[in-house]
Every structure is written in C-alpha cells, then in structure tokens.
C-alpha cells in the first residue's frame, strides 16, 4: 500500500481510581469494519484571534466544528485569561453549555524545558492555574509544550525535567478533572523523544497532542514514529494547511482511523486570508475527503 503526500462532545468519565483512567483519545486496535471516530473542531490561534466568544461560537456552528480549543496568552478577543473572575468564568461556561459547541480546553504556551529554575517553576505554576481556568469554563484539559533541547544541558536531563514538570501539573490538574495535552512541538517534542518522556510520566491524565509535524515524517518515517506513541495519544491534535504536501495527512488519517482514535482534529493555520470562513470551509472540505478516502480504501 502506498500513500501520497498529497451536539455535545461525549466526555469519558473522569474516574481517578486505582486502575487509573482512560484518556478520551486512547486507542485500541480496530476490529471488523473500519469506522470513523474523528471529529472536526477548531482552535482559535491566529485565524480566530479576532473573534469574540459569540462570533467564535457562531462560526464554529457554521463550520460544524462542535469542539473548540481557545489559545490563551495571545490577547485574543475571546478574553479567556487567568484574570477573569469566577462570575465571568461561570458566564462563559453557560454560554458554551447553551450552544452546540463544546469548549475542549485551553492551548497555553507554557513549556517545561527552561534552563532557569525560576522560569521553570513559574511555567509549572501558571499551567496549574490554567487547568483550573479550563475547568471553570467547562473545558477538559490544557495544552503545554515540552519544548527544546539546550546545548548546555544533557538531553536526558531535559527529558527527565520535562517529565517531572508534566507530572507536577498533571497531579494538580487531576483535582479539576483535567487532561494535560503534551504537544508534539519543538526539538524536544519529536515523537521519538515524547515516547521517552511518557515512559517517565506517572500520571494517567497525560496524553500526547499530535502536531502534524513534517519533521516526524522524513523519508517515510511517520508510521514508525506514530506507532511509538499511539498508546499515549490524547484527545486532540493540530492540523496545519491540509493543502500542503510536506506532511502525509492521508496517512495520518488512515492510521488514526485504523487505531480507532476518538478525538478532535483542530486546524491551526497561519497567514489568514481575507475571508477566513471561506478558507476554513475549504479546510473542512479537504478533511472530509481525507476521512472518506480512508474509509473507502481496502
């Protein structure tokens, strides 16, 4: 087989018991007829930065993107930041509850690779606060970064530091029923490295957020790299321009459907066109075709 380059979210019960709990994006081998469990959502970064909450929800409904992740720390018009009080948090929670769109959570820019211990501590504490904010507005988790290796620090030490930071945040987030989505981002975020990090993470509410990164698909290596982390996948992933040929989106779709992955595919694009909704409708059309092609292949 060859591949070309070319209502409400049903949340799993958050049961933190001795047996642990299953991530909403956990996968299991497909049995019998292949079925699509992927869902199309939206992340507000760049293309949705200028939309306030009513517009964001309305546009997601128009796109049939019934799950939305909000990027924080970017002065976005949605206004969901740590500074909002409990009353406003409750209003936002109700706004989504009264709509067909589910707030999936928050995409933070917090990273756990800092060489400066004070910066690392600040990132960990801020991520904990974002987990509480996500809970307060009805979300189910937060995105964090690994993020980079540094020439003055042995890679193994950075891997251990990232795992410890993720665990500390995850323990606090578990108290709010929140997932930690560790994104496939940066030089310390390659899928091979994320497998090493996850081997050192003890918390059960941590999952890898795929980032459709061409660096993990060099020379046809994506299936091998995907299989390293498939049992650690979280419940969301980022896609970029689906028209691009530098990442095997069809192959990724095939592998996710084969794995029975039940998660949200979120377009994260830069360089917005004049008509953003037209651009997003095109992305939605291409995504629908990827799923249809995958389901129809032998």
Q: Report pLDDT digits (tens) over 69-115.
A: 999 998 899 999 999 999 999 999 999 999 999 999 999 999 999 99
pLDDT surpassing 90 at residue 66:
yes
Total residues found in the chain within this entry: 298
**pTM for the whole thing?**
0.89
- 209 vs 198: CA distance, rounded Å: 12
pLDDT surpassing 90 at residue 175:
yes
pLDDT surpassing 90 at residue 130:
yes
CATH number at residue 142: 3.20.20.150
Position 2 in a domain: no
**What's the angle, vertex CA 226, arms to CA 225 and CA 231, rounded to 5?**
120
pLDDT band at residue 33, thresholds of 50, 70 and 90? confident
* pLDDT at residue 9, as a whole number: 24
* pLDDT at residue 28, as a whole number: 53
Position 269 in a domain: yes
Position 115 in a domain: yes
Q: Report pLDDT digits (tens) over 258-276.
A: 999 999 999 999 999 999 9
- Partners of 141 in the beta sheet? 179
* pLDDT at residue 4, as a whole number: 39
Structure tokens at 136: 């307060």
Position 258 in a domain: yes
Position 64 in a domain: yes
How many domains would you assign to the chain?
1
pLDDT surpassing 50 at residue 193:
yes
Q: Report pLDDT digits (tens) over 248-261.
A: 999 999 999 999 99
Sole residue written with tokens 């081998």:
29
- 53 vs 61: CA distance, rounded Å: 12
Position 140 in a domain: yes
Position 94 in a domain: yes
pLDDT surpassing 60 at residue 3:
no
Position 12 in a domain: no
Which structural domain range is residue 114 located in?
Answer: 39-296
Mean pLDDT of 126-143: 98
Structure tokens at 250: 């069809």
Mean pLDDT of 201-225: 97
Q: C-alpha distances in angstroms, 159 versus 132, 211, 236? A: 26, 19, 23
* pLDDT at residue 30, as a whole number: 46
Q: C-alpha distances in angstroms, 295 versus 31, 151, 255, 265? A: 14, 45, 11, 16
Q: Where are the alpha helices (DSSP H) in the chain?
A: 53-63, 86-97, 117-136, 155-174, 191-200, 222-229, 249-258, 276-296
């Amino acid at each position: 087989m060859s591949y070309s380059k070319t209502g409400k979210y049903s949340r799993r019960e958050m049961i933190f018991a001795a047996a642990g709990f299953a991530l909403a994006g956990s996968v299991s081998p497909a049995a019998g007829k292949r079925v699509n469990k992927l869902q199309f959502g939206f992340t507000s970064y760049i293309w949705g930065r200028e939309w306030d909450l009513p517009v964001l929800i309305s546009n997601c409904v128009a796109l049939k993107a019934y799950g939305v992740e909000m990027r924080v720390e970017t002065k976005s018009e949605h206004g969901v930041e740590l500074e909002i009080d409990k009353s406003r948090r409750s209003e936002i929670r109700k706004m989504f509850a009264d709509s067909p769109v589910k707030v999936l959570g928050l995409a933070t820019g917090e990273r756990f690779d800092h060489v400066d211990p004070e910066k690392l501590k600040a990132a960990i504490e801020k991520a904990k606060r974002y987990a509480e904010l996500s809970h307060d507005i009805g979300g189910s988790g937060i995105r964090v970064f690994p993020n980079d290796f540094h020439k003055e620090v042995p890679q193994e030490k950075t891997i251990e530091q990232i795992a410890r930071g993720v665990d500390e945040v995850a323990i606090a987030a578990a108290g709010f029923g929140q997932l930690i989505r560790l994104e496939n981002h940066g030089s310390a975020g390659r899928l091979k490295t994320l497998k090493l990090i996850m081997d050192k993470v003890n918390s059960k509410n941590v999952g890898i957020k795929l980032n459709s990164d061409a660096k993990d698909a060099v020379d046809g290596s994506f299936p091998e790299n995907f299989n390293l982390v498939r049992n650690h996948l979280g419940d969301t992933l980022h896609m970029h321009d689906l028209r691009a040929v530098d990442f095997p989106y069809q192959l990724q779709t095939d592998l996710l459907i084969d794995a029975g992955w039940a998660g949200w595919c979120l377009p994260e694009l830069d360089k917005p066109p004049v008509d953003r909704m037209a651009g997003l409708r095109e992305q939605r059309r291409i995504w629908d075709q990827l799923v249809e092609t995958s389901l129809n292949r032998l």
